[in-house]
Structure 1
Amino acid sequence: MECATISELADSLSTRFETAKTAFRLHVSAGRDAEEVSEMMAHVTDIQRGLRDLRAAVDQEKAHLEFAQATLASLRVERARVEHLMANLPSRLPSLQAEQKAAANSAAQTNGAGKPASGSSRPGTAASSNGEKPVPSIAYLTVDEFNAVPQYMRGRGTRDQSNKLLEELNSVIAARYALMRRPRSELSGAQRKLWMECKREENPKTKGSLFFTEEDFKRFKKSSLSKAMRQLLVVLRHVGRISSLREGGAVVRHVLT
């Protein structure tokens, strides 16, 4: 008996069962020993029960196979999405590794009394390995931060555009403090004049803080504050990167927080 499928096997066995039943009836009617045939019919019944169980198991495995195929298709879709995300990461991301490295350096420089060595814990600054003061900067805007800013504040610009402007702003801040931290004896006449202008912008409320003003763009970028940069300052205030001090005349001091 050669059967290619379970169905063919079931049909073949059913035919044989019917033949056996007919033979049993004929055997009984002929007055032969019914006990042997009854035992045979019990075996046939067991086989039928086993066949039903086999069919149920096959149906269950089919259901499992369909579920596995659906799961595989879903995983392929998710993999394609992840590959697309990896291939299209934004060019600017928060420098978490730099912050972690700075924190590790700060912890390593603590003395035996548990007091930290000289350095800055200000967010957005990168510690120097040679003991120099960190270069002040403002951390990039994250996706969540940018999306949380109301549309009327951030305008139509994208996060990448805002972070590109932020790089320009950081270069101005770095230029200001690169000048302020140089010994006055090393400055030229023009540099000393700029140094005095920056020094006059300090007041008691900015003591110990890092800040910049709109005049810094004229001093170090030779340009006035653009509309896009003003909008960025609004966004930075909203997310808590800076705060603004408007005391002491017309000068607005934007303090890094």
Structure 2
Amino acid sequence: MSELEEISQHINDRIASMHRMLDLSVVELPQRKKLGQEFATLEKLLEEFEKCVGRQKERLEQLKEVEESLQKDVEDVQHIKENIPAHMPRKKGPANGGEPVPTQKEAAGVQPENVKKTNKSFIREMEVITVPEFESIPPYMKGRVSYHQLNAAVQGINTAVTAKYKILHQSAKTLSNHARKLHQRFKAQETKDTKGQYFVVEDDIREFTQMKADKRFQGILNMLRHCHRLRELRGGGVTRYALL
């Protein structure tokens, strides 16, 4: 039984007792004195009852505020769920197992019937830029590039890296003529400094993505270097962009 119910029951009991006293007070004078005491007690109970009602109203208002807050949280979560950015990181495969999805150009260059099913290699990807990282980039460096445009470029570079190393991890005998030429170019661009590194060059960006390796792209690369996502490795007249 709640506090309000207990007080209400107590008041009803007192009122019933007073009714009995009123019936008796007509003939018995002592009952009138006790009746006055019961009135005083009832008055105190009514005051306590009003206080209890006030407390219950306050709790009800608090519960309404909590309900509104929870409803807003539910709406925010639903909005986030329905508007997940395409560049958000996804669960990667294990270091010794996940088979990456080939790109259209890559699929056109590789002969699937000659690729062994057991040929699985982990390919590293660049992590997306977080909002705090984007905000830390100096305005003169960002220019007009938006947060979403920067992460779209991250996706493009990851596409090029995945396509390139998918070809490199295969035997040249299993590749088409075009893919074999790419394989040879990739190998020729490797140096002692690139050992163990995942890198691409501008030709790889043109080959595997629709991005243009123009002045704007160079600005994006500067931003990615600022965010410690890649570094440049130069040599032999080639600029290599290695993932960190």
Same fold (TM over 0.5): yes
The equivalent residue for 1:83 is 78
The Cα shift of 1:152 comes to 2.9
The DSSP-based 3-state class of the residue aligned with 1:240 is coil
- Picking from 89, 95, 117, the partner of 1:94 is 89
The Cα shift of 1:156 comes to 2.3
- Percentage identity across aligned positions? 25
Q: Deviations over 1:79-125 (max 9, x none)?
A: 33333333322222111x22xx41xxx5xxxxxxxxxxxx49xxxxx
Task: Verify: 1:231 aligned to 2:219, yes or no.
Answer: yes
Bigger Rg over Cα: 1
1:19-98 residue pairs with structure 2 within 5 A? Answer: 35-95=30-90, 97-98=91-92
The DSSP-based 3-state class of the residue aligned with 1:252 is strand
Matched-pair contact (CA < 8 Å) for 1:93–1:140 = yes
AA aligned to 2:243 is L
AA aligned to 2:201 is T
The Cα shift of 1:57 comes to 1.4
Aligned length: 209
Q: Deviations over 1:171-222 (max 9, x none)?
A: 3223333443443455676655544433332221112222122233455569
Instruction: Note closer, same or farther for the CA distance 1:153–1:130 as it changes in structure 2 (3 Å cut).
Output: farther
1:1-257 residue pairs with structure 2 within 5 A? Answer: 35-95=30-90, 97-98=91-92, 101-102=93-94, 106=95, 119=96, 126=98, 130-185=118-173, 193-217=181-205, 225-246=213-234, 248-257=235-244
Higher RCO structure (Cα 8 Å, ≥6 apart)? 2
The Cα shift of 1:137 comes to 3.2
Give distance in 2, aligned partners of 1:88 and 1:218. 30
Report the TM-score when normalising by structure 2. Answer: 0.67
Instruction: Note closer, same or farther for the CA distance 1:193–1:79 as it changes in structure 2 (3 Å cut).
Output: closer
Matched-pair contact (CA < 8 Å) for 1:91–1:160 = no
The Cα shift of 1:42 comes to 1.3
Q: Deviations over 1:121-149 (max 9, x none)?
A: xxxxx457834222343233334433443
Matched-pair contact (CA < 8 Å) for 2:156–2:211 = no
The DSSP-based 3-state class of the residue aligned with 2:129 is coil
Matched-pair contact (CA < 8 Å) for 1:93–1:142 = no
Q: Deviations over 1:4-53 (max 9, x none)?
A: xx9xx9xxx9xx9xxx9xxx9xx9xxxx9753322221122111221221
